[in-house]
Structure formats: structure tokens, C-alpha cells
């Protein structure tokens, strides 16, 4: 596996592959990789001739009081994992390379609708940072395919919408969430949890599963389902951020006749913010 930091070296390699008629799949990450990330690489390898990964801790998507400075940076370990999976190229730019004018002077991409509410409720500029950096990385890598985890479902829908709205010739592939045996979604931020907190954290997915069963059984009193879930989370020691039952396509509040749902949830456990979701399709 080749690792490059400069844009010129990245573009030179991509150009050579494209001139040879090879297809490229891309997996953008912020590093501190775990099995969830590696499953994206494994999926990408089945879809294209070459796989490019990036590691970039994007300052634009962090709020003023968030964990940018303390975000885990494990480049050597990440490189070993990516190499073992047969990743072809790793791009590791610095903030100065991605944002040479600085954040205040950087053009940005904003995706209306799906980037509003849910995670944006407590992180108002987060998805502007995500869509901007992903758009820029897409322009640099020029992939045919890009793989993203379904754990960050709102992010996935933001990127899908951006690609559609801006007519980017890229297939966006969602990859199923990888979980611990307890059901807890694998996340870089799980490393902040103690063993006891990890045991508590599994309640988030259990609440999603319980709500899924309620919808599948025909329950349509969404406010009651949501309140039950929030009460369960609070009783377990989690502080609910949101728990929303949505139409899967546009992430708006589900109507009574909805057939394709996603339940989006976030909760704090101490200082750690956990997110998760579950999809529910009703077949008559």
C-alpha cells in the first residue's frame, strides 16, 4: 500500500489508474480505524479495481466545545490494518493542504433538508463541514464508487443528496453497521467508554430494537414509542439527545401511512455522545 500526503501525488496515481481503464472505490475516514471502517474497505474491494482510503480529522465538522484536539490519531496502526486488507492507496492530507486559506476563507457546501434536525440539533454546523470535505475529497480522488457506514445514517443521506444534487458521477454505497456482541455500534468514540459504561451503552440499540418491534406490530403512536425509549435510556443512565421516528428517504417525521422508516437516536453517556439507528420496512 502506498501512502501519499500531497495532492499532486494522489492525482498522479489516480490519473494513471484511470488511463489504464481501472475503476476506483473510495473510503474516506477520520482514522482511529475499527472493524466498521475495515468492513467498508472489504466492500469497496468487491466493487472496484482499486481502493483508496483517506485519513483526515476534519476540523470543519467539529464544534467549539467538541473533541478535535483529543480525537484519537493512530496513523501507524491504521496503516497496518489497511495494508493487511489490500488497500491500494492511502491519502493522509494535513489541514493546511485541505484548507490552505484557513476555515474562515474556505468555500463550503451546504445540503438543505436532510442536514437539518437530528444530529444538527446540537451540532448546527457539523454537516456543512462533512459535505464540504467529502465534496473536496471526491474532487481530488475522482472515485467511481464511495462507501460509507450506515451507523451515521443522516451523514449517509446528506452525502447521497449532495451527489444527486450536484450531478456527481459517483455511486454511494451504504454498508451495514458493525456491532459489538452486546449490540453497541462500533465507533471510534467507544474507546472513551469504561467497561461499565460500554455495558450501559448497549441499552441504546436495545431501545431501537424495541421501537422497531412496536412499528412492525402496527403501533403508530410515535410519540408514545419515543417517550418509552427516552424513559428507558434515562433510567439506564444515558441522557437522550434525540430519538426520532422518520421517513427513511428524507428523514422527516414519519406519517401514519409511512412504510419505510428509520429510527434515529443519539444519547450522552458521561461526556461521550453515542449515535445509532435502525431501519424498518413494513411489507403489507
Nearest CA-CA partner of 55 in 24, 84, 76: 76
**Measured distance CA(116)–CA(154) in Å, rounded:** 9
CA torsion sign for 215, 220, 224, 230 is: positive
Q: Dump the DSSP string for 199-218.
A: HHHHHHHHHHHHHHHHHHTT
- Is residue 188 classed as helix, strand or coil in its secondary structure? helix
Locus of grid cell 439506564: 236
Reply yes or no on whether 34 is catalytic: no
> 34, 37, 118, 210: which is the annotated catalytic residue?
37
Q: By the 8 A CB rule, do 46 and 39 touch?
A: no
Q: Dump the DSSP string for 214-259.
A: HHHTT---HHHHHHHHHHHHHHHT-EEEEEEEEETTT-PBPPTT--
- Residues with a catalytic annotation lie at 37
Amino acid at each position: 500500500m502506498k501512502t501519499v500526503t500531497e495532492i499532486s501525488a494522489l492525482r498522479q496515481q489516480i490519473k494513471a489508474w484511470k488511463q489504464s481503464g481501472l475503476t476506483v472505490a473510495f473510503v474516506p475516514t477520520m482514522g482511529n480505524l475499527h472493524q466498521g471502517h475495515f468492513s467498508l474497505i472489504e466492500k469497496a474491494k468487491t466493487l472496484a479495481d482499486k481502493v483508496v482510503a483517506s485519513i483526515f480529522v476534519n476540523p470543519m465538522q467539529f464544534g467549539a466545545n467538541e473533541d478535535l484536539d483529543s480525537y484519537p490519531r493512530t496513523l501507524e496502526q491504521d496503516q497496518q490494518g489497511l495494508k493487511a486488507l489490500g488497500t491500494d492507496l492511502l491519502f493522509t492530507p494535513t489541514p493546511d493542504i485541505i484548507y490552505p486559506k484557513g476555515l474562515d476563507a474556505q468555500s463550503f457546501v451546504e445540503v438543505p433538508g436532510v442536514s437539518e434536525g437530528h444530529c444538527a440539533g446540537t451540532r448546527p454546523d457539523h454537516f456543512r463541514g462533512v459535505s464540504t470535505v467529502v465534496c473536496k475529497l471526491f474532487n481530488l480522488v475522482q472515485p467511481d464508487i464511495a462507501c460509507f457506514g450506515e451507523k451515521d445514517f443522516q451523514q449517509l443521506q446528506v452525502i447521497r443528496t449532495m451527489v444527486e444534487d450536484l450531478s456527481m458521477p459517483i455511486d454511494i454505497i451504504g454498508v451495514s453497521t458493525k456491532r459489538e456482541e452486546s449490540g453497541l455500534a462500533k465507533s471510534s468514540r467507544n474507546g472513551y467508554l469504561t467497561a461499565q459504561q460500554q455495558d450501559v451503552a448497549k441499552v441504546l440499540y436495545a431501545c431501537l430494537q424495541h421501537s422497531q418491534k412496536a412499528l412492525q406490530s402496527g403501533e403508530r403512536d410515535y410519540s408514545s414509542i419515543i417517550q418509552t425509549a427516552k424513559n428507558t435510556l434515562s433510567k439506564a443512565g444515558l441522557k437522550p439527545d434525540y430519538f426520532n421516528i422518520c421517513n427513511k428517504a428524507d428523514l422527516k417525521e414519519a406519517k401514519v401511512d409511512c412504510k419505510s422508516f428509520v429510527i434515529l437516536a443519539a444519547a450522552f453517556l458521561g461526556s461521550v455522545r453515542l449515535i445509532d439507528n435502525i431501519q424498518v420496512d413494513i411489507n403489507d
